[in-house]
Amino acid sequence: MRILVVEDDDNLAAQMTAQLKEAGYSVDHAPDGEEGHFLGDTEPYDAIILDLGLPVMDGATVLRKWRAEGRAMPVLILTARDTWGDKVDGLDAGADDYLTKPFVMEELLARLRALIRRSAGQASAQLVVGPVQLDTRNGRVTVNGSSIKLTAQEFKLLSYLMHHEGKVVSRTELTEHIYEQDFDRDSNTIEVFINRVRKKLDVPVIQTVRGLGYRLEWEDDTPRD
């Protein structure tokens, strides 16, 4: 999952970026509204954390422009303005949720997980596909109850597929959502990661759709009464 942080406070941005990366996200950062608008308008993000009090272009303006341009990614706004008017203005501009500064990082992560789940049509923090379970709260992956150890990139790939269970996901889409903007992206490595994850899971949940990409689903062949 790929996140954009639009925040002009360098210290806060660094803290959020570090925590988000530790939680398994790929993270890009924009220090002002103009750059934030450009990235949000040209790059595919699974969610955006947007400060309202930004230089060059304020956050509410950025958000309204995104929505007017048809950009539908989940947006969590941050505001130091603890008034109902500012919160309502942000929500009316198209935000999906908000946090008032100062905030606890665990709450930010929990709200972000919820936004991403809802955007992908998932209701529970525990993603389950057949015998495979991924707990979005702690990043733990199990198969038939046994923990599976994945690298950071393998986890990002599996998490994206599990959030989009049953949908065909192309190599290009996976590449765009598991790598950061300045990373040297190579879609050919996706097949390497797919093969590694398949071997570690050791259950047939990742299907190759020839010429299109991959689909994560579980076909239960157990006879039914």
- pLDDT in single tens digits along all 225 residues of the chain: 999 999 999 999 999 999 999 999 999 999 999 999 999 999 999 999 999 999 999 999 999 999 999 999 999 999 886 677 778 888 899 999 999 999 999 999 999 999 999 998 888 889 999 999 999 999 999 999 999 999 999 999 999 999 999 999 999 999 999 988 766 666 678 999 999 999 999 999 999 999 999 999 998 754 333
Q: In 3-state terms, what secondary structure has residue 216?
A: strand
Determine the pLDDT at residue 224: 35
Among all chains, which residue has been given the structure tokens 């199990």? 142
**At 119, is the secondary structure helix, strand, or coil?**
helix
Enclosing H/E stretch for 79:
strand 75-79
> What torsion do the CA atoms of 49, 53, 54, 55 make, to the nearest 10 degrees?
180
Helix ranges (H only) for 129-182 are 152-163, 171-178
Phi, then psi, of 55 in degrees rounded to 5: -75, 165
pLDDT for the residue numbered 89: 83
Neighbours of 98 (CB within 10 A): 19
CATH level 2 (architecture), domain 126-216: Orthogonal Bundle (1.10)
Residues 6+ apart with CB under 8 A from 143: 131, 132, 133, 201, 202, 203
Q: Whole-angstrom Cα distance, residue 201 to residue 199?
A: 6
Judge whether 214 and 208 are in contact, CB under 8 Å. yes
Contact indicator for 5, 26 with CB cutoff of 8 Å: no
Beta strands in 104-174 (DSSP E): 126-129, 132-135, 140-143, 146-148, 168-169
Q: pTM for the full model? A: 0.87
Question: DSSP state, 104?
Answer: -
Domain boundaries along the sequence of the chain: 2-119, 126-216
Residue 95 in tokens: 């935000």
pLDDT score, position 171: 92
Q: How many CA atoms lie less than 13 Å away from 116 in the CB half-sphere?
A: 28
Tell how far CA 169 is from the center of its chain. 15
- Give the CATH H-level superfamily of domain 2-119: Response regulator (3.40.50.2300)
Inter-residue contact 169 to 193 (CB < 8 Å): no
pLDDT at position 222, please?
A: 40
pLDDT of residue 121: 86
